[in-house]
């Protein structure tokens, strides 16, 4: 569910016409809905209320500090995965006691910074990292806390590039070696390994992989407890999918909770979740304008001003983003956004960007209402891993970000300038 709706024939974000934002801020532009963000955060909290999880928003999915501040103000912690993300989470007013630090390649400086600001825990990915964190904490005269990330060997049935919990992926420690690792590092002097972490992939459309992973983790914690290890929390990671194509493509989080809560209720350890996409995915769109049309062979191209540098997901993961005019003709204003709903008198086109690569597209062979130069299009479900993965490729200044709250909108990141492009370079 989100607050991007067609009213009186045009797209609104909450109570603000998308066209007004494009007119004042230009295109391409990311637009986020505050109400949608908070709706999803609260939905997760409510669904899992029986086990009172700590929610750590996965800041890699969308990291504007203003948007993160909204989440922090509503009780969210942060899952960070680099020194830069830690910096951002702090800038957003995040509480270090609600921050966890993940990632297979933490540098010494990043580990020291995280210990210094007093993050809640590291999610530790290897034995070498355990030894390094213990050593660094010792050198600093401090102590660190961590969870061991296990690789539960379940198939999340998602894109090969974003599946993380199968044997052979680079993440975590194989679940069948976890007990030996806990045993080997029992009683470290400067690092207490008090938790277990897993993250099976993203986006995960099915519930069963979570059930399988959690069942394995719970059994592992039982065995560890029997052997005298004190496990204080279990972090289930993120990955809940969202609706890219149709309103019922992804299971609502309530269904995940219905399957997972019974496995976890009454356990003597706390539960953490690291959702990113579920909170912000449908809370953001990318507004883009049609620059040109052209024909090549049998193909019709609609060339828009958003390139793969602005939104890389379609070409990187073959992912589907619904695209629709902001002001469609009357016959093409539908009550729901559903990819199955074909345009009336439409056409099949490739929606492509201005970048010098054939892989620069937002949609291939897509049925759309007819569009012409100047028309404004919305690329939906672009809030997660949209701006966050954007770049300056082809020396294109990155798009601005706008946050809508009811009747008002605020530019929370200005459009980059040409000066920004060269600002860090030295002659």
Active site positions, annotated: 356
- Euclidean distance between CA atoms 105 and 22, whole angstroms: 40
Residue 275, interface with ligand LLP (CB under 6 A)?
yes
154 C-beta neighbours (distance < 10 Å), count: 24
Minimal distance, residue 317 CB to ligand LLP, in Å: 6
For ligand LLP, the binding residue among 29, 61, 163, 381 (CB under 6 A) is: 61
> Should residue 162 be labelled a site residue for ligand LLP when binding is judged by CB under 6 A?
yes
Question: What mask of x and - would describe binding to ligand LLP in positions 353 to 392, judged by CB under 6 A?
Answer: -------------------------------xx-------
Q: Is 63 in the site for ligand LLP (CB under 6 A)?
A: no
Minimum distance of ligand LLP from residue 126's CB (angstroms): 14
**274 binds ligand LLP per the rule CB under 6 A:** yes
Select from 350, 349, 355 the least CA-distant residue to 306: 355
The least CB distance from residue 271 to ligand LLP, in Å, is 14
User: Should residue 282 be labelled a site residue for ligand LLP when binding is judged by CB under 6 A?
Assistant: no
Nearer to ligand LLP, 101 or 409 (CB): 101
Dihedral (CA of 72, 75, 79, 80) sign: positive
Tell me which residue has tokens 């069963």: 208
In this complex, which beta carbon is closest to ligand LLP, that of residue 36 or of residue 371?
36
Q: Which phi and psi (to 5°) does residue 37 adopt? A: -55, -55
Rounded to a whole number of angstroms, the minimum distance from the CB of residue 282 to ligand LLP is 12
The distance of Cα 417 from the centroid of its chain, to the nearest Å, equals 26
Q: Applying CB under 6 A, does 172 fall inside the site for ligand LLP? A: no
The interface mask with ligand LLP, positions 221-240, x = CB under 6 A, is ----------------xxxx
Per CB under 6 A, 53 contacts ligand LLP: no
Q: How far is the CB of 210 from ligand LLP (least distance, A)?
A: 12
What lies within 8 Å, CB to CB, of 20 at 6+ separation is none
Question: Interface residues for ligand LLP in 285-304 (CB under 6 A)?
Answer: none
Please select the residue that binds ligand LLP; options are 165, 203, 209, 343, rule is CB under 6 A. 203
**Cα torsion 249, 252, 258, 260: sign:** positive
> Pairing mode, if any, of strands 299-304 and 284-296?
antiparallel
Please state, in angstroms and rounded to a whole number, the distance separating the CA atoms of residues 345 and 336: 18
Contacts with ligand LLP, 100-119, as mask; x by CB under 6 A: --x-----------------
Nearer to ligand LLP, 25 or 124 (CB): 124
Backbone angles phi, psi at 402, to 5 degrees: -125, 135
> Which of residues 353 and 386 has its CB atom nearest to ligand LLP in the complex?
386
Report which of 35, 43, 76, 74 is spatially closest to residue 57, judged by C-alpha positions: 76
CA distances from 88 to 338, 385, 421 (A): 35, 16, 21
Q: Distance (Å, rounded) from C-alpha 175 to C-alpha 392?
A: 40
**C-alpha distances in Å from residue 375, one per residue of 19, 29, 166, 386:** 10, 14, 44, 21
For 328-385, strand residue ranges (E) read: 347-352, 361-368, 376-379
Q: Which two tokens stand for residue 256?
A: 């995940």
Q: Is 199 in the site for ligand LLP (CB under 6 A)?
A: yes
CB of 421 to ligand LLP, least distance (A): 24
CB count in 10 Å sphere of residue 318 = 10
315 binds ligand LLP (CB under 6 A): no
How many residues in the shown chain lie near ligand LLP by CB under 6 A? Answer: 21
- Choice from 27, 29, 54, 58 touching ligand LLP (CB under 6 A): 58
CA atoms within 13 A on the CB side of 114: 33
- Provide the minimum distance between the beta carbon of 328 and ligand LLP in the complex, in angstroms, as a whole number: 27
Q: Which residue ranges make up the site for ligand LLP (CB under 6 A)?
A: 58, 61, 79, 102, 162, 199, 202-203, 237-240, 274-278, 313, 317, 384-385
């Amino acid at each position: 569910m989100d607050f991007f709706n067609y009213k009186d024939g045009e797209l609104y974000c909450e109570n603000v016409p998308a066209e007004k934002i494009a007119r004042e801020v230009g295109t391409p532009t990311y637009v986020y809905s505050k109400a949608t963000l908070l709706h999803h955060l609260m939905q997760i909290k409510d669904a899992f209320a029986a086990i009172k999880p700590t929610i750590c928003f996965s800041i890699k999915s969308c990291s504007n500090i203003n948007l993160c501040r909204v989440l922090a103000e509503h009780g969210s912690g942060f899952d960070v995965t680099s020194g830069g993300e830690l910096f951002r989470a702090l800038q957003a007013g995040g509480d270090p006691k609600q921050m966890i630090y993940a990632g297979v390649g933490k540098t010494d400086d990043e580990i020291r910074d995280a210990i210094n600001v007093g993050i809640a825990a590291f999610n530790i990915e290897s034995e070498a990292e355990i030894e390094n964190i213990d050593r660094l904490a010792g050198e600093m005269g401090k102590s660190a806390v961590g969870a061991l990330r296990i690789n539960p060997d379940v198939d999340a049935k998602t894109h090969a590039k974003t599946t993380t919990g199968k044997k052979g992926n680079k993440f975590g420690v194989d679940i069948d070696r976890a007990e030996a690792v806990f045993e080997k590092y029992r009683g470290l002097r400067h690092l207490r390994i008090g938790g277990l972490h897993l993250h099976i992939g993203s986006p995960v459309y099915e519930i069963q992989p979570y059930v399988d992973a959690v069942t394995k983790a719970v059994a592992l914690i039982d065995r560890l407890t029997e052997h005298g290890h004190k496990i204080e929390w279990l972090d289930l990671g993120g990955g809940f999918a969202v609706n890219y194509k149709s309103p019922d493509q992804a299971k609502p989080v309530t269904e995940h909770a219905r399957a997972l809560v019974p496995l976890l209720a009454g356990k003597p350890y706390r539960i953490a979740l690291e959702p990113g996409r579920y909170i912000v995915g449908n809370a953001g769109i990318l507004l883009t304008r049609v620059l040109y049309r052209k024909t090549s062979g049998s193909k019709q191209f609609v060339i828009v001003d958003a390139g793969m540098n602005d939104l890389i997901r379609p070409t990187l993961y073959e992912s589907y983003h619904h695209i629709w005019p902001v002001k469609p003709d009357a016959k093409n204003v539908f009550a729901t956004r559903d990819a199955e709903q074909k345009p009336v008198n439409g056409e099949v086109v490739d929606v492509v960007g201005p970048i010098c690569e054939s892989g620069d597209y937002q949609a291939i062979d897509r049925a759309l209402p007819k569009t012409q130069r100047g028309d404004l299009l919305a690329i939906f479900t672009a809030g997660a891993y949209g701006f966050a993965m954007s770049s300056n490729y082809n020396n294109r200044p990155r798009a601005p970000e706008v946050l809508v709250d009811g009747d008002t909108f605020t530019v929370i990141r200005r459009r980059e300038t040409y000066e920004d492009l060269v600002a860090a370079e030295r002659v």
